[in-house]
Copies of this chain bind each other. A is one copy, B any other.
């Protein structure tokens, strides 16, 4: 039983402001909170105190950029929005009839919250397809904490390999420490594998006395017959060739059978094989956070097979126009683009759309404006489809770099990331190769 009920400020109530509660400070939630007019008394809830620019999280793993360059305190982004309050809290469940959320605050105390409009935009979590015990051996890239642990594991394995080689340990031991397996050939897996290959080629060269950085064996495992599902075949092939040129061993049509402390068991076109590896990363699947299930239960909705929640043209639940679901957990079928993917531009546009909707600035249904998609492979190499134009190589890389810097929140973050990339891409230096976590 919650101990306190939190209502909008009395002042806001008297002025007739409607109460909007947003759950999740990702791209959708933060965009919405920043764009809603002062007619609304807004509460933005998130389990963490920071908004994460997830598209660059894989660069934290290789030490190319620091957490502070892609994480930004939510509170600081709402400085000039006096109608928005930001609270670090976890949402447990909903009372659809009373329009109440039940939450646990930072510090542990329970409280509840009333709303006129509810917006749920809590995003995705890792999905191991019934093998949650793999998580400890194959961490996934969804949170900053996870990224830092992956960084510690990768850099720690290289340190251990150098020490093992120095004292003349058996070659199998050194090989296992120098083996990395990335599972999942979507943009995250491709970018992660490419970044690790670049790290070993440039930053690591000349820094080890017993290891040749080229000894680092990187496997990229994908169940489908091609990388980057959804990209044009020409770009898929470019990505494959680019990764192979960097020394990544790409295994297509290959499934993961087992993951344990010593490595992975794979099943591919050539049958089953065992790969001893000290570093295994998981980028093979995501599913909606638990809260999507709680929303479905409370509002009498049946989730889609993948756990997402169907929304109408107003991005609201059927029969519940006061409940909006945005971003990755929303299953929205766009008239032109079909079912929308779980990417940052969709989430941002949906947040901005609901701000217009709640401020009566639009009545038209949501339409996704698809600028395209891209994935970086290595230094000065990427693939991109921008407004139907297919680019690969240097030009695609330039578009990728400019787009990501433009999307970063805050001028100081743009400047920092540019400094980091200058050092990394021009000089091959990685600024943040620190092992600060347990491995």
Q: Which residues of A contact B (CB under 8 A)?
A: 3-6, 9, 48-50, 63, 65-69, 71, 73, 75-76, 78-80, 82, 85-89, 105-107, 109, 111, 144-145, 148, 155-156, 159-160, 162-164, 166-169, 177, 203, 206-210, 412-413, 415-416, 419-420, 423, 429-437
Contact = CB atoms under 8 A, between A and B. Distances in A.
Contacts of A89: 163
B105 A148 contact: no
A159 B412 contact: no
Contact of A73 (B66, B148, B413, B433): B433
Given A49-B434, A436-B144, A4 B107 contact: no
A88 B437 CA distance: 15
B434 A71 contact: yes
A59 B85 CA distance: 27
Nearest to A415: B419
A84 to B, nearest CB: 8
Given A6-B166, A416-B419, A433 B49 contact: yes
A50 B209 contact: no
A160 B105 contact: yes
Contact of A87 (B50, B75, B162): B162
Nearest to A157: B107
13 contacts: A3-B167, A48-B435, A49-B156, A67-B434, A73-B433, A85-B210, A86-B162, A105-B163, A109-B164, A111-B167, A144-B436, A412-B419, A416-B416
Given A66-B67, A105-B167, 4 more contacts: A6-B168, A9-B209, A87-B166, A412-B429
Q: Copy number in this complex?
A: 2
Contact of A436 (B67, B87, B166): B67
A9 B210 CA distance: 10
A207 B79 contact: yes
A156 to B, nearest CB: 6
Main secondary structure of the interface of A (DSSP, over half): mixed
A387 to B, nearest CB: 34
A88 B434 contact: no
A354 B420 CA distance: 34
A225 to B, nearest CB: 37
Contacts of A159: 49, 87-88, 106-107
Nearest to A160: B107
A5 B109 CA distance: 56
Query: Which of A3, A78, A433, A434 has the most chain B CB atoms closer than 10 A to its own CB?
Result: A434
A38 to B, nearest CB: 14
Contacts of A160: 88, 105-107
A204 to B, nearest CB: 8
A419 B416 CA distance: 8
Contacts of A416: 416, 419, 431
A82 B67 CA distance: 31
A163 B73 contact: no
B79 A206 contact: yes
Nearest to A66: B68
Contacts of A144: 434, 436
Contacts of A164: 105, 107, 109
A336 B168 CA distance: 48
